[in-house]
């Protein structure tokens, strides 16, 4: 009985840990959020280039 309860608790803890890792990875802390970066390529800013063309 104690072993089954310990197994269930370990599975719950591992599920919570996995959910936390997935949430962290999806938030993309490494690259930063995409909505703060200005869109540009090798020719310069897309906003400025759109006004010129």
Tens-digit pLDDT profile for residues 1-30: 889 999 999 999 999 999 999 888 777 656
pLDDT value at residue 1 = 80
Query: Using CA atoms in the order 23, 29, 27, 12, what is the torsion angle rounded to 10 degrees?
Result: 0
Domain ranges for the chain = 2-52
β-partners of residue 45 are 40
pLDDT value at residue 26 = 76
Full DSSP string of 1-53: -HHHHHHHHHHHHHHHHHHHHHHHHHHTTTT--GGGSPPEETTEEHHHHHHH-
Q: Which CA distances in Å does 34 have to 19, 25, 27, 31, 44? A: 22, 14, 10, 8, 17
């Amino acid at each position: 009985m104690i072993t089954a309860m310990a197994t269930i608790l370990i599975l719950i803890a591992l599920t919570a840990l996995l959910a936390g890792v997935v949430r962290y990875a999806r938030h993309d802390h490494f690259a930063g959020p995409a909505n703060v970066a200005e869109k540009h390529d090798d020719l310069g800013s897309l906003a400025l280039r759109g006004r010129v063309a």
